[in-house]
Each structure stands twice: as structure tokens, then as C-alpha cells.
Amino acid sequence: MIALSAAYLRKMVGDLVGLAVVVLIVPTCIVVSLYILRGCRSWAVPNPLVRVWSRWRRRPEAPTTRPIEDIAVLARRLSRRFHEPPQGQRFVKAEGLRRAYDGVLAEACSQLAIVNLLGVLEAGSDLDRERARVEWALECAGMELGLPL
């Protein structure tokens, strides 16, 4: 057998004590620190894999448009105001209402994949015919606009 020197054995024992400190004492200090930092609520330490997974998992994307129900409510409200204007309504208010109504109709068309030219045509009879066609298409698609068709 190989004879080991006393200095070598002391060195090995010192290394084993250092290893024991790293393996046992450091994780205990980390757990206690987390307990204190979390407000002493729970001893449960989150699993590192869960934390990494929660950072990289795909989160559901937020919708970029309004719900179709909200668009339908707004379209019904603007439809009544557009098709039945009060007596003596000013031109600027009527024009703003027309643009708002056309914008809501175009938004509804984009949600329901209906082709429209509301944002392209100039104000006039062509735009009025296009608006009537879009209102009819939306009614046929199931969006109640409150129109007498």
C-alpha cells in the first residue's frame, strides 16, 4: 500500500470540510435569505426550472382590436344618429358623425372579412351606395344595425 503523508491527509480533510460548507451551509443560507426576502410567508422556494420556464413560455397575445360586440353596440348607436339626424343639425357635426359611422363600419368589416371602400371613396353618392352595401353585408353576416331593410 501507498503510505500517505500527514500533510497530505490534513490537506484532504481541509478540502472535505470546505466541500461540506459549500454543499450544506451555503444552500441553507440561501433558503433562509429567500424566506426572509419573501416576507416570511412560506418556506416554499420556487423551483428554478419553473422560474426559467415562466420567463420563456409563450404568453397569450393581447387582442389588437376591440371585441365585435363592442363594435356592434357602437355601430347601432351611430346608425340611429346618422340615419335620423335631429332637425337643424350643423354640417360639421353631421360630417363628424358620418366619418365616425364609416370608421366603425370599416372596423366591423375588417373583423368579419368583408371587403369595403369606405375609407377610399370621397363623400358623395358613391360613398352613400358603398355604405348601404356594407350595411346590408353586415346585416347578412348577423350584425344587427337597427336598420329598416
**Greater pLDDT, 62 or 132:** 132
Task: Give me the amino acid identity at 49.
Answer: L
Q: Name all contacts of 95-99 with Cβ < 8 Å and 24+ positions apart.
A: 95/123, 98/123
Q: Which range, of 35-39, 75-79, 117-121, 130-134, averages the lowest pLDDT?
A: 35-39
For residue 58, give the C-alpha cell: 409563450
Average pLDDT, integer, range 28-38: 73
Q: Are the beta carbons of 100 and 119 closer than 8 angstroms?
A: no
For residue 106, give the C-alpha cell: 370599416
For residue 117, give the C-alpha cell: 371602400
